[in-house]
Amino acid sequence: MPNLIEITREGRVALVRLNRPAQLNALNLALAEELVAATEALAADRSVGAMVLTGSDKAFAAGADIAEMADKSAEDMVERDFFAIWDRFAAARIPKIAAVNGYALGGGCEVVMMCDFAIAGEGARFGQPEVRLGVIAGMGGTQRMTRLIGRSLAMDLHLTGRTMRADEALRAGLVARVVPDAEVVSTAMAAAAEIAAHSRAAVRLAREAVAKAEELPLGEGVRYERALFHRLFGTKDQREGMAAFLEKRPARFHEPDEAAERGA
Ligand code: DAK
């Protein structure tokens, strides 16, 4: 059986490609298990600073695998806590950029929203069509989308099941950038390389701080951010980054012999 994901490395960046093209990368459990295991391994690998998640030209992912779910009972769903595994993908401590061509529907759109940000091709299509199947989003789509793009548009998408074009997704804030289809992966890889070149500790805490903004009231969030900011003054990377600026040279955050002692 072929691998359901493919991983290639370019320097400190991992490119992870969903690989069920005949099913438009429908997200079955086997694929989820493979992707989560790979993502957690990449997060633990200090030689990797960021990952790009992509699909095929036609589909990032057309949703959870309908064939796999069709005959499940409510008991099956509860017993197996269906889709809980995706929480581990979202939680893995590695910057994740979704590089989206084609369809990102249902669970596919939800995986896009689990990533830190998304770069979409002009032909990409986003939507939460689950209502047309007699169900609702089950991987966080109602929650993450409402926070990202607001209640009104989230209601529109979840209640009508319509798809949204890339330009609308950009205006709404669902994706960070839209580029020509052929440039999606290279643009995402370049962004990931930029992130991976930075201090691992600073990137990690920046991710944590931004993510907390979705949970905390403003005052608490600002205090949380300040505590993380203070903590970074205990790292070599802060000293290196600021010394490099003052000495008018590029910062060197990733000398192999130093990496282990940084304690990021
Ligand atoms: N699942 C399984 N197979 C899929 C699929 C999917 N989501 N999407 C496409 N495929 C398969 C098709 O069945 C077809 O297979 P064959 O017939 O060739 O064997 C192949 O991929 C090519 O698809 P099409 O022939 O349909 O291609 P078209 O270009 O004509 O259409 C399309 C592309 C993306 C518009 C269409 O395939 C489509 O509408 N796909 C379904 C999109 C969708 O409804 N996605 C949402 C899935 S549901 C939960 C509750 C709910 C959920 C999860 C959890 N809990 C309570 C825990 C629901 C989550 C979902 O994501």
pLDDT tens digit string along 72-115?
999 999 998 888 999 999 999 999 999 999 999 999 999 999 99
Phi and psi torsions of 255, nearest 5°: -60, 130
pLDDT band at 2 (very low <50, low <70, confident <90, very high): low
**Nearest CA residue ID for atom 47, ligand 1:** 63
Q: Give the C-alpha separation, 58 to 175, whole Å.
A: 18
Burial string for 137-147 (b: 16+ CB within 10 Å, else e) reads bbbbbbebbee
Place of tokens 């282990």: 260
State the average pLDDT over residues 110-134.
98
Determine the residue of 4, 23, 86, 135 to mutate for testing ligand 1's pocket, defined as the one with the most ligand atoms within 8 A of the Cβ atom: 23
Q: What is residue 109's predicted lDDT score, i.e. its pLDDT?
A: 98
Catalytic residues: 64, 107, 110, 130
State the average pLDDT over residues 129-157.
97
This prediction's pTM: 0.95
Q: With a 6 A CB cut-off, is 60 part of the ligand 1 pocket?
A: no
Q: Is 216 helix (H, G, I), strand (E, B) or coil?
A: coil
Mean pLDDT of the chain: 95
**Nearest CA residue ID for atom 4, ligand 1:** 23
**Nearest CA residue ID for atom 38, ligand 1:** 62
Instruction: Work out which ligand 1 atom sits closest to the CA atom of 103.
Output: 34
DSSP string spanning 43-99? HH-TT--EEEEE--SSEEE--B-HHHHTT--HHHHHHTTTTTHHHHHHHSSS-EEEE
CA 43 to mean position of chain CA atoms: 13
What pLDDT, in 10s, does the model give residues 3-61? Answer: 999 999 999 999 999 999 999 999 999 999 999 999 999 999 999 999 999 999 999 99
